[in-house]
Amino acid sequence: MSGVDDDRWLEPWLELIAARVGERPLLELGCGDGRDSAALAAAGHRVVGIDASASAIAAAAARAPSCEFHCQDIRAPFPQRCARVNVVLASLSLHYFSWLETVTLVERIRAALEPAGVLLCRVNATDDVNYGAIGHPEIERHYYLVRGQPKRFFDRADVERLFGAGWNRLHVEHRTVQRYVQPKALWEIAVERV
């Protein structure tokens, strides 16, 4: 049904998160208004969330008061207590950057993960036509200026290139979800540091 928010994407991953997170907090990059943070806290996890928007951080703190939040760009150094973690979550937050910045950010995430640590992420797909994949000025391949905001879109080759050496791909799936007014096409990815 169009426009109905039925995006409970974390539910199938809660068992894996519980098995991997250990005693360390879970690092959430681009936590937004705390929707996923609250779900993770309800499952008993300690969450450190980062987002560049002060209003999003305020909403997240209200929604998930047991979590720790930092207002900062996700490309900035991670909070010290997250220098080493077992689980990183990045839902719809890694696709705002040039390819080089994206690669650098993913390398930093990998460096923060312990061996066998897991990154769960979702990124825009190249067929996400409802949210900017067509009809906008191109900055670089699959990277467009969408209503003043740079946005990257990924195809399978991009995902495989980004999560190649140093990663074990546990799950890569193209999905269409109902989170916003119109359907959103994305890649859902689970990778493990090797």
184 domain residue, yes or no: no
State the DSSP code for 111. H
Q: Note the pLDDT tens digit of each residue in 47-99.
A: 999 999 999 999 999 999 999 999 999 999 999 999 999 999 999 999 999 99
Q: Would the pLDDT of 2 be above 50? A: no
Cβ atoms of residues 93 and 74 within 8 Å: yes
Find the mean pLDDT for residues 97-119: 97
DSSP string, 40-101: HHHTT--EEEEES-HHHHHHHHHH-TTSEEEES-TTSPPPGGGSSEEEEEEES-S-SS-HHH
Half-sphere exposure of 17 (CA within 13 A, CB side): 27
132 domain residue, yes or no: yes
144 in the same domain as 71: no
145 in the same domain as 92: no
CATH of residue 112:
3.40.50.150
Cβ atoms of residues 127 and 185 within 8 Å: yes
148 in the same domain as 77: no
Query: For the chain, how many structural domains are there in total?
Result: 2
Which pLDDT belongs to residue 4?
52
Give the rounded percent of residues in the chain with a pLDDT score beyond 90.
94
